[in-house]
Structure 1
Amino acid sequence: MAGLCEGRVVIVTGAGRGLGRAHALAFAAEGAKVVVNDLGVGLDGLPGPDGPAAQVVAEIAALGGQAVAHGGDIATSGGAASLVAAAVDTFGRLDTLVNNAGFLRDRMLVNLDEDDWDAVMRVHLKGHFLPLRSAAAWWRAEAKAGRPVAARVVNTSSGAGLLGSVGQGNYSAAKAGILGLTAVAAQEMGPYGVQVNAIAPAARTRMTERTFAETMAAPGAGGFDAMAPENVSPLVVWLGADASAGVTGRVFEAEGGRITVMEGWRPGPTADRGARWTPAEAGEAAAKLLAAAQAPLPVYGAR
């Protein structure tokens, strides 16, 4: 199973199903040794009856690869630390972290409970931060000990984080936060040999096949399945490999056969009078600037 990631040790969180499973199998196919993390929970984040991480490990082993399952909660300090320890103790090192785990608790804002807000923030945003912190600490120690580091982190945002999504205020906010975390981590960890990027994928998973059922439907026999999660994984594997050297702090959309580099917030039309505005003057200036600016892309689900 020699390939682009031969000899690399890769962690994928939320790798029991959907995108995470596709990423884990794709990394293994390119020669990586994989730590398959999954709590085995349902769409609402509650424990399920099976153990999908072990099933993915078995799939990788059947193909001649090496993998180990990790069932810890990566949104806790102990779970994140044990995740990194699983890679280092089993395979002797860690090279790539793919933060992918997540679930949904969709509600319109007026019906969104505080618990549903906290739960989604916890698994998406905290569940990115804690594994990243634990992995970064290990890589920094390696760099300070004089051992070369060529580490990669791939975070998972969403179109909801880029544009917003009606009925997903908690999810959109968490995914937007991941973009900010990615930018900061890329700068802070660069001196230690760590590259940090993010993807905003569109694919058929348990989280999307119900919410966007028509869009995510599989095609008829013989057609290109644009929403198959396996379409996203090649970009993730490249970002997690040595081959992506020099690429950091970037965000990519990936859907079907399309890859897009997202350019993010950039200054648009500006007015500066060199002194304080009155409210009326500020409003007049803002109206002129808005007339000269590009209209924002619509929020998903907007009418």
Structure 2
Amino acid sequence: MRKQRTIKKEVILSGIGVHTGNRTEMKFIPAEPNAGISFVRTDLPGSPAVKAHISKVVGFMRGTTIGEGDVKVHTVEHVMAPLSSLGVTNVRIELDSNEPPVVDGSSVEFLAALRESGIVDQSEPAEVFELKEPIYETEGDMILVALPYDGFKISYTLSFSHPKLKAQYLSLDINEQSFAKEIAPSRTFCFYREVEVLMNQGLIKGGSLDNAVVIGDDAVFSKEELRFHDEFVRHKILDLVGDTYLLGLPVKAHIIAAKSGHAFNLRLTKKLYEAYLKSQSVHN
């Protein structure tokens, strides 16, 4: 039987938030069994906590934002994805600002910090939602389907009408090893034509070639070579892993996605949560 998991010791990262541009110190802190995952705003009076859960999602403009009243934490998906891959179910994440550090635009440093801390099994069994019936979400040419599967697998097709970004496809069973090798290093990206629009929306204040890949009309701009020839579809899978873990527990399912982004990912996660609640009512 799978056990609940936390980390062995406190570990700290710091940097700027990609959208807010705010400098943040973030601490991963061990949590007791059944505590779940929470983000704690230590910069606010009373250090309010926001549970990492689909019911707390309050925004999805170029990233996933969770909140409780006026308390918000932006861009949580890059943190949630490595927690999912490691099977961490209980951890307290303290921030002294409103967004985790973007670091290099991937999840590599979050994963490394968590591994450095160490992952420990706890006494209580971990609840796992095993999907029994297909769930789907469609809109135009965007598709998300979740199928029963003995494990956690994502198959993603990315396609943009852009000369430098042909269709990319990847299908992968997600676990600690595959996530670390194939998904965690992939960086966030945007199109050059979007930069001014995003800035006008008050976003990407902390964005730069240090933490993102920018796709121009005739070239791809990056501080280093692309880490994979299909780095962009891999980052889409990273986002989907993180958004799905807002279900609040591990899930057994095969998720098939085409051209999905945060808003669409979260619609599927909400349906998965509804299916989970339905399964609980049947069992009870």
TM-score, with structure 2 as normaliser: 0.23
> Comparing both structures, which one devotes a greater share of its residues to strand?
2
| Larger-Rg structure | 1
> Comparing both structures, which one devotes a greater share of its residues to helix?
1
